[in-house]
Structures are given as C-alpha cells and as structure tokens.
A and B are shown apart, each in its own frame.
Chain A
Amino acid sequence: MKNVIEVKQLDKSYGTFKAVHNTSFSVQADKIYGLLGRNGAGKTTLMKLITAQIFPTSGDMKVFGENPYENAKVLSQICFIKESQKYPDLYNILDVLEVSKSIFPNWDVNFSMSLIKDFNLPLNRRIKKLSRGMLSAVGIVIGLASRAPLTIFDEPYLGLDAVSRGIFYDRLMEDYAEHPRTVILSTHLIDEVSNLLEHILVMDNGKLIIDQDAEELRDWAFTVTGQTSKVEAFLIGKEIVHREPFGGLLSATVIRSQNDTDRKQAAAIGLEISPVSLQQLVIHLTNGKSEQKGAIAK
C-alpha cells in the first residue's frame, strides 16, 4: 500500500527540550489513524511538522513522496484542523466557507451545506459572535467538506456537546466510506473514537511508543484477576503494565501476550480474564507510575 507520510528519525527540540524525539513511522493511504497521548506528549508538534508549519531540528520527512516545505503541490492535499483554529473576526461563516472552497480542490459545496444544517450553524453570524462549540463545529465542517487526501483533526471538539460529537463521527464514517482518504485524528476522548480507528499511534514524552493496527492492539492486552499467588504464577515471563492488589486478590494488566493460549491457560487455573479498552491501555502505557508499579513486584 502507498505511504502518504514517511518520517525517519525526526527530532524537534526547543532549547534542551525535545518535543519530538527520534520518531520514525509511516502513514498508509486511505486509513483512519488515531494519534493518542497525554498533554504535552508531542502530538501537536508532530502534526505541525507533518503539515510544514514548523521545521524539524533533524531527521527526514516525506509527505505524498515529497518534502512538504513551501510545496504547494503537497500542501494543497492537506487539511489541518487545529484545536483552536483562528479565523478573521469580521468574517461570517459563509465567508469562511467561501475561502475554504477556494483553497481545497476537492471541496464539496453540497456536503458543506448539509453539515452546516446538521450542526445548526448560523451562516451569517460573525466568527467573533460564535460560541466555542460553534467554532469547533465550523472547523469540523471544513475538515470534512474539504475531502483532502490527508485530513488531520487535532482535538477538534473543544466545547462541542455530545450530540454534535456523535454527528461528527457519523458524518465522518459515512463520507469516508464513500470517499476514502487518509485521516489522522488526535483526541483525548479515546473511548468515543476507538472503533472508528484502523491504526493507533501513541506518543509519550516526545517518543512514539505504539505504532500498531487497532485490531491487533485490542487483542494484545487483557486484565487477569484472581488469588494473588495464582496470578503471580501466571504472570511470570509476561510484560505487565499495571497491577492492583485488593485484599487477597491481584488484578494485573498484561500486554504483548499470546492472547489465545494465555487466555485458555488463565481460565484453566480459575483466573478471571477481562478486556482492556483502548483508553485504559493508553492510560496504563502513558502513566509515568506504571513502570514503578511493575518494578515493585518481582
């Protein structure tokens, strides 16, 4: 499959602070990626690098096979919706849509108008009179209606209510099914989007710690609960990201397991196996304390 983004050993430092450190990955065409991680993990920096808004300190990067910097051919294929997208205060929504139409070659006017209706947006109201949630909805309308071959949403729904977020997911999946394109979605609301994602990238402290197919990742981790001694015996040789003792019981989350055989083995000795959601998994993996917890037990 064709790679839309190829990044090799990318570094971005601000003084001694490494916002993105030695990061290599590729993004395949027409898949939906989730870029996850805590605040300050380097997600936004990475997206700004990909969209050529800042320069890397070192490393190699290709977008649509070319260097993206001041490259109109590449940049016209990218739509980047930022967390707090700024628009000229004196514009109304219609003006913003008109400008977007002239920027994005694949812009679909009918689709943009039906989205405006879905989100109940007042076309003639000025940008500075819009609520925070409405501003976010404007960004989402642009991100979807642009149908850009590479569409990036960076936490697009500040102030957006649950109903509107639901509309966003519905319209995204419907339109993606008809018009496949590469989408990178960065969000903290992992539970809401986990089923939509095909591939997961997790950043922590400037490093990419997970780069994996969503289904594989789902099948990759589980929590085992039971009598402490039995659980401890089961855990030998396994990679543990979280432990929680409770009375005489121990609950532990295991990753990178041979899921099927491990599950059968655990069930055979009377241990309870439960699934780990993507959100829980990301919390365990990016919670600085988890290593410490793992280290306390043998």
Chain B
Amino acid sequence: MKNLIDDGRPIFVQIAERIEDDIIEGGLPEETQVPSTNQFAVFYKINPATAAKGVNLLVDEGILYKKRGIGMFVAKGARSMVIEKRKEQFFEQYVITMIREAERLGITTDQLTDMIQRGDKKR
C-alpha cells in the first residue's frame, strides 16, 4: 500500500483534508456518516487520538456535525464551505508560489497570463 500520510504536515490536518476531498468529489454526500475515528486509525495506521483531532477540526468549522450516540455526519452546505476554503488555499499555495518562481526566472506578468491561457487550451 502506498504511503497515505506524508511526513511534511501534521497528520490530523491531512486526515481533515482527506475527508474534505471526499466531500468535494462526492464520495461523502451531505448528511452521510463519516467513518469513526477508530476506523480512520486502523486504515491509515495512525493513533486514534490524532484521527479524532482531524475530525474535530472539521466539526469546529461546521463541515461535520455530531449525532449523539451515532457518530459524525457531513453537514448541510458542507461542500460549498469546503470549496470556498480550498479556493483561498489555492491562492496561497499555487498562485503566490507561481508568481514568486516566475519572478525568479524573470517571467513578466503578461508572459505569465499568456502561459496560463496556453495551458488552458492544451487541457
């Protein structure tokens, strides 16, 4: 099995992102139950406390909610919340990084815009 967890960032953040990915891609539709922290722990071979921390991160953000005695569920409107959050991250992670590297290589903003349009056609 490939390494599901990378070494770079806190594991609980990565668990939260995996759940978010599933919500975006439709694997976890709204109002469906999320796997339990123990199931996450066994599947990803991580400590259950870490898995719980990742799940709770999404509960705090209102993306998941707890049904007492049953488990965690995907909240109404979770998908659009996650997508909004990811759009902000996209700007930080990709756009800013790209502009910085372009600057280093002497690529102007116009050239960069050209490249994006070319990339879009190739898709």
A177 touching B11, Cβ below 8 Å? no
Query: Any chain B CB within 8 A of the CB of A198?
Result: yes
Given contacts A215-B53, A270-B104, contact A177 B48 (CB under 8 A): yes
Query: Any chain B CB within 8 A of the CB of A98?
Result: no
A177 touching B10, Cβ below 8 Å? no
Query: Any chain B CB within 8 A of the CB of A31?
Result: yes
Given contacts A196-B46, A198-B49, contact A178 B5 (CB under 8 A): no
Given contacts A218-B11, A275-B9, contact A170 B42 (CB under 8 A): yes
The residues in A between 187 and 229 inclusive whose CB is less than 8 angstroms from any CB of B are: 195-198, 214-215, 218-219
Q: How far is the CA of A31 from the CA of B11 in the complex (A)?
A: 17
A195 touching B45, Cβ below 8 Å? yes
- Tell me what chain A mostly uses at the interface: helix, strand, loop, or mixed: helix
| Nearest neighbor of A274 in chain B, beta-carbon distance | B8
Given contacts A170-B42, A173-B41, A195-B5, contact A219 B47 (CB under 8 A): no
Query: Any chain A CB within 8 A of the CB of B33?
Result: no
Chain B interface residue number, banded: 20 to 34
Of B12, B45, B47, B100, which is in contact with the most chain A CB atoms at under 10 Å from its CB? Answer: B47
Q: How far is the CA of A115 from the CA of B71 in the complex (A)?
A: 30
Query: Any chain B CB within 8 A of the CB of A32?
Result: yes
| Nearest neighbor of A197 in chain B, beta-carbon distance | B47
A215 touching B50, Cβ below 8 Å? yes
A-B contact count (CB 8 A): 51
Q: B104 contacts which chain A residues (CB < 8 A)? A: 270
Q: How far is the CA of A231 from the CA of B46 in the complex (A)?
A: 34
A173 touching B45, Cβ below 8 Å? yes
Contact of A196 among B9, B10, B12, B47 (CB under 8 A): B47
Of B49, B53, B100, which is in contact with the most chain A CB atoms at under 10 Å from its CB? Answer: B49
Query: Any chain B CB within 8 A of the CB of A169?
Result: yes
With both chains docked as a complex, state the minimum distance between the C-beta of B51 and any C-beta of chain A, in angstroms.
9
Q: A173 contacts which chain B residues (CB < 8 A)? A: 41-42, 45-48
Query: Any chain B CB within 8 A of the CB of A174?
Result: yes
Q: What 0/1 readout, one digit per residue, does chain A (155-181) give for beta carbons within 8 Å of chain B?
A: 000000000000001100110111010
With both chains docked as a complex, state the minimum distance between the C-beta of A179 and any C-beta of chain B, in angstroms.
11
Query: Any chain A CB within 8 A of the CB of B38?
Result: yes
Query: Any chain B CB within 8 A of the CB of A22?
Result: no
With both chains docked as a complex, state the minimum distance between the C-beta of A112 and any C-beta of chain B, in angstroms.
20
A275 touching B8, Cβ below 8 Å? yes
Q: A170 contacts which chain B residues (CB < 8 A)? A: 42, 45
